[in-house]
Amino acid sequence: MNAQLSRRTLLGGAGAMAAALSAGAANARILPKDMDPLIGPGYRAVDQDEKGLWQLMDRVEEEVSGSNLMIKDEGLKNYLRDLIGNVGGPAAKDMRIYLARIPEFNAMMFPTGFTVVFSGLLLRMRNEAQLAGVIAHESAHFLRKHQIRQWRDMRRKTDIFSFLAMGAGVAGGAAGIYAGDLIQLAQFGTILSLLKYNRTLEAEADAMGLRLLAEAGYDPMAMSETWEQLIGELDMSAKYRRKHRDRDFSLFSTHPTPDSRMADLKISAAEVRQPGKTYDAYRDRYLAALADLRPTLLDDQVKLNDPGASQYIIDTLARDGWNGLLRFHEGEIWRLRNSQAKDDETRAAQGYAAAVMYADAPPDAWRWHGVMLLKQGRAAEARAAFTRYLQMSPNAPDAALVRQMVAS
Amino acid sequence: MRRVMLALMASVALAGCVQQRQYADVEFTPPQGDYKLLVMRPDVSVGSVTTGGMVEPRADWTEQARANFLSALRAQQASRGGNAFIMERRDSLAGIDPDTIAELDRLHYAVASSIALHRYSGDYLPTKRNKGLDWTLGEDAVALGQKTGYDYALFLYAEDSFASTGRVALQVLGVAGCFVGFCAPNVGGGGQFGYASLVDLHTGEVVWFNVSQASSQIAGIKFGDIRTPEGAAQMVDRLLARMKPGRNVRRRESAR
């Protein structure tokens, strides 16, 4: 049995098959009202395959919860726990949420009901409603038993494929026909159908997440906003790298495209939104919970050296108002890229100069403002900025050096 | 565990057989007499191979295998004469924070991955040529040794899987096909895999590492079953029984 999936097969004979698979019922929108939870409170694994999966996942959770990638801020942990307790539907009290310090837009739900949220997600959310939307989506994966359903689907399809392939081979052998190409085609079909099932589950989670979000009193429109932001960020990131956003051929991807998700979410949100009701996005509460962590989040993002994405994120957050922290990190984006051809230094200097006009400018904004002034030959102003830096941060690791710069 | 496992599995030839391959520090002498051994919580898992070839974890089999593996280990250590303590959980060691143990487990996992890559997967490092086994867990392991008084720590991993009825049926079909000219006799499915890693808690070094694999290319034919007491004892034996001294030690012995 040849189990190789060759490139030739992918490009050649598979086209017709692919078209046949993706046609028909492929992309109908799943309605939030159809998405009822499949489990109640206190759910435990029932069937043998699910028990095995749960046992394995308990080990995974042990490793995840103890990992030093996890952010251990108790206040924030409580905040996230309350949030999932609010949008988690019937299983709200059973789910656990972990926050990993990884500067990427991602969150995932595991089969036993624990979810891992990446810190990059928290950075990108403008308010609590947006974050609640993502957490509601992840909760929906658990409430709809997606992981075990997907495992069973995969098992069933690979089982069928194995028998068909072997059967075709044996039949072909008996009839004197080489069945290799046919088998490869069938295998390709199996893979495509697995991915499609995955996309269906994601669409289900979107629809149900929306419903959970609305039931918890948040504006269901927050979810499509999140996707709008992600699309904008991907476009900007690609543009700065002089590339086009990677538009995966949707047949091969595990998730629906961001564009189609956003479109579906908008239509569905309009359905569940209560007309005339004013929704609070709880931005203040979100900012307060995230206050201590935000400088770290911005710093992690800027250091990815993805200027398009970083600038987009900062601009997005600044739609709710600029502040010293955002302006400072805007300066950092360009100082770290440091392209002389594009005069990044001037852009950086402008960022720092803008930052120090705000009362909440971090000490480093004053430091870099001083350095930039010094480079421009404005020594007296630079000295004032350095003095301010030393006042704010007298024990900074480079305090002695800066003092020397002020004195000279 | 998955990554070490895959790397290690890929390295061992596919032929249906039982094989072990061990590496030792050049100055390694197998512990004897009055030594104190700390056995870290063994990682045991058992699954069923689906018709399509995926391994589905089985909770009941795993628990059974873990219990049998632990008692086999206890019996094996008792026969060696050493003073061994087997941790059944990460918090079984009095006075030591389970987080400390978890950290050491994770550190060892990273080091074992490196050993798997550079000793078993063929990506040999020129800097480690002729050095036997040259890896260390460093100060964390030494600190644990000082705090607890143990001489060695032993890390164990064991997994087993069994072909499902569907997989065996597929195998039968594959063999039947041989009579009509479509021969697929090597469907495979199910097999044992495990490793043992001994760390000297005085130096922090990994002094001995052994990989054992037992599998066949015929689904339904097995070389052991760690769910049973005999099978678990056999696995422990495959992993730990034939500990060879390091190269320099062997040379000195044969020169004598």
Q: How many domains does chain B have?
A: 1
Q: What is the residue range of A264's domain?
A: 7-272
Chain A residue closest in CA terms to B109: A63
Out of A274-278, A330-334, B93-97, which region has the weakest mean confidence (pLDDT)?
Answer: A274-278
φ and ψ at residue B136, rounded to 5 degrees: -140, 150
Residue A38 tokens, joined: 């499949």
In terms of Cβ atoms closer than 10 Å to its own Cβ (0-12, 13-18, 19+), residue B198 is buried
Out of A145-149, A378-382, B119-123, B136-140, which region has the weakest mean confidence (pLDDT)?
Answer: B119-123
Percent of chain B with pLDDT over 90: 41
Residue A205 lies in a domain: yes
Residue where one domain finishes, among candidates A244, A272, A300: A272
Q: How many domains does chain A have?
A: 2
Indicate if A229 and A353 belong to the same structural domain.
no
Indicate if A249 and A313 belong to the same structural domain.
no
Average pLDDT over residues A267-282: 88
Please indicate whether, in this complex, the C-beta atoms of B174 and A1 are within 8 angstroms of each other: yes
Mean pLDDT score of chain A, rounded to an integer?
A: 85
Contacts of A172 in chain B (CB under 8 A): 182
Q: Closest to B54 (Cβ–Cβ): which among A45, A158, A163?
A: A158
User: Residue B181: what pLDDT?
Assistant: 66
User: Residue A273: what pLDDT?
Assistant: 87
Determine the Cα–Cα distance for residues A97 and A81; give it in Å rounded to an integer: 6
Residue A284 lies in a domain: no
Average pLDDT over residues B94-120: 90
Q: What is the pLDDT of residues B223-253, one digit of tens each?
A: 778 899 999 999 999 999 888 999 899 999 8
Determine the Cα–Cα distance for residues A255 and A262; give it in Å rounded to an integer: 12
pLDDT bin (cut points 50, 70, 90) of residue A185 is low
Q: Which amino acid is at B19?
A: Q
Instruction: Reply yes or no on whether the pLDDT at A324 is more than 90.
Output: yes
Percent of chain B with pLDDT over 70: 88
Please indicate whether, in this complex, the C-beta atoms of A51 and B59 are within 8 angstroms of each other: yes
Average pLDDT over residues B63-92: 88
Q: Of the candidates A333, A376, A392, A325, which has an alpha carbon nearest to the alpha carbon of residue A355? A: A325
Average pLDDT over residues B129-154: 93
User: Residue A356: what pLDDT?
Assistant: 96
Closest Cα of chain A to B203: distance in Å?
25
Please indicate whether, in this complex, the C-beta atoms of A166 and B174 are within 8 angstroms of each other: yes
Q: What is the pLDDT of residues A216-273, one digit of tens each?
A: 999 999 999 998 898 888 888 888 887 776 655 555 566 777 788 888 899 999 888 8
Q: What is the pLDDT of residues B172-231, one digit of tens each?
A: 777 777 776 666 667 777 788 899 999 999 999 999 999 988 877 776 677 778 899 999
Determine the Cα–Cα distance for residues A359 and A381; give it in Å rounded to an integer: 18
User: Residue A223: what pLDDT?
Assistant: 92
Is A46 in the B-facing interface, judged by CB distances under 8 Å? no
Closest Cα of chain A to B245: distance in Å?
34
Q: Which residues contact residue A387 at a Cβ distance below 8 angstroms, ignoring those fewer than 6 apart? A: A406
Indicate if A120 and A77 belong to the same structural domain.
yes
User: Residue A249: what pLDDT?
Assistant: 53
Chain A residue closest in CA terms to B172: A166
Instruction: Reply yes or no on whether the pLDDT at A135 is more than 90.
Output: yes
Chain B residue closest in CA terms to A174: B180
Residue A147 lies in a domain: yes
Residue B210 tokens, joined: 């052994």
User: Residue B4: what pLDDT?
Assistant: 57
**Which range among A185-199, A315-329, B15-29, B42-56 has the greatest average pLDDT?**
A315-329
Contacts of B109 in chain A (CB under 8 A): none
Q: What is the pLDDT of residues A377-405, one digit of tens each?
A: 999 999 999 999 999 999 999 999 999 98
Determine the Cα–Cα distance for residues A181 and A272; give it in Å rounded to an integer: 49
Closest Cα of chain A to B154: distance in Å?
20
The question of ipTM being above 0.95 is answered as no
User: Residue B15: what pLDDT?
Assistant: 46
Please indicate whether, in this complex, the C-beta atoms of B51 and A158 are within 8 angstroms of each other: yes
Q: Closest to A166 (Cβ–Cβ): which among B54, B106, B184?
A: B184
pLDDT bin (cut points 50, 70, 90) of residue A288 is very high
Please indicate whether, in this complex, the C-beta atoms of A154 and B54 are within 8 angstroms of each other: yes
Instruction: Reply yes or no on whether the pLDDT at A146 is more than 60.
Output: yes
Indicate if A314 and A358 belong to the same structural domain.
yes
Please indicate whether, in this complex, the C-beta atoms of B59 and A52 are within 8 angstroms of each other: yes
User: Residue A106: what pLDDT?
Assistant: 87
Q: Which amino acid is at B125?
A: L
Indicate if A233 and A195 belong to the same structural domain.
yes
Q: Closest to A174 (Cβ–Cβ): which among B52, B180, B183?
A: B180
Average pLDDT over residues A7-28: 40
Residue B19 tokens, joined: 């094989």
Average pLDDT over residues B145-170: 88
pLDDT bin (cut points 50, 70, 90) of residue A164 is confident
Out of A4-8, A150-154, A251-255, B127-131, which region has the weakest mean confidence (pLDDT)?
Answer: A4-8
Please indicate whether, in this complex, the C-beta atoms of B173 and A48 are within 8 angstroms of each other: no
Contacts of A166 in chain B (CB under 8 A): 170, 173-174, 177, 184
Residue where one domain finishes, among candidates A206, A238, A272: A272
Contacts of B51 in chain A (CB under 8 A): 158-159, 162-163
Instruction: Reply yes or no on whether the pLDDT at A341 is more than 50.
Output: yes
User: Residue A13: what pLDDT?
Assistant: 38
User: Residue A246: what pLDDT?
Assistant: 63
User: Residue A189: what pLDDT?
Assistant: 66
The CATH number of the domain holding residue A342 is 1.25.40.10
Out of A124-133, A204-213, B188-197, which region has the weakest mean confidence (pLDDT)?
Answer: B188-197
Q: Do A333 and A311 form a contact (C-beta atoms < 8 A)?
A: yes
- The helix/strand/coil state of B155 is strand
Residue A280 lies in a domain: no
Please indicate whether, in this complex, the C-beta atoms of B58 and A52 are within 8 angstroms of each other: yes
Q: What is the residue range of B143's domain?
A: 2-255
φ and ψ at residue A64, rounded to 5 degrees: -65, -50
Contacts of B60 in chain A (CB under 8 A): 48, 51
Residue B212 tokens, joined: 């054992």
Is A72 in the B-facing interface, judged by CB distances under 8 Å? no
Contacts of A55 in chain B (CB under 8 A): 57, 59, 62
Please indicate whether, in this complex, the C-beta atoms of B56 and A172 are within 8 angstroms of each other: no
Percent of chain A with pLDDT over 70: 86
Interface test mutation site (partner A, options B51, B104, B175, max chain A beta carbons within 10 A): B51
User: Residue B41: what pLDDT?
Assistant: 93
Question: Are β-strands A114-118 and A107-109 bridged in parallel, bridged antiparallel, or unpaired?
Answer: antiparallel
Contacts of A154 in chain B (CB under 8 A): 52, 54
Please indicate whether, in this complex, the C-beta atoms of A158 and B53 are within 8 angstroms of each other: yes
Indicate if A264 and A374 belong to the same structural domain.
no
Q: What is the pLDDT of residues A65-98, one digit of tens each?
A: 888 889 999 999 999 999 999 999 899 899 999 9
Instruction: Reply yes or no on whether the pLDDT at A147 is more than 50.
Output: yes
Please indicate whether, in this complex, the C-beta atoms of B57 and A53 are within 8 angstroms of each other: yes
Could you tell me the pTM of the whole model?
Answer: 0.81
**Sign of dihedral through CA atoms A288, A290, A293, A299?**
negative
User: Residue B128: what pLDDT?
Assistant: 87
Closest Cα of chain B to A45: distance in Å?
11
Chain A residue closest in CA terms to B106: A63
Indicate if A67 and A163 belong to the same structural domain.
yes
User: Residue A9: what pLDDT?
Assistant: 37
Chain B residue closest in CA terms to A167: B173
Instruction: Reply yes or no on whether the pLDDT at B148 is more than 50.
Output: yes
Q: Of the candidates A37, A144, A139, which has an alpha carbon nearest to the alpha carbon of residue A88? A: A139
Q: What is the pLDDT of residues B27-49, one digit of tens each?
A: 999 888 788 999 999 999 998 88
User: Residue B164: what pLDDT?
Assistant: 81
| Cα separation values, B233 from A189, A203, B87, B194, B195, Å | 44, 49, 18, 13, 15
Interface test mutation site (partner B, options A170, A178, A182, A191, max chain B beta carbons within 10 A): A170
A·B CB contacts under 8 A: 83
Residue A238 tokens, joined: 């690609």
Determine the Cα–Cα distance for residues B29 and A113; give it in Å rounded to an integer: 47
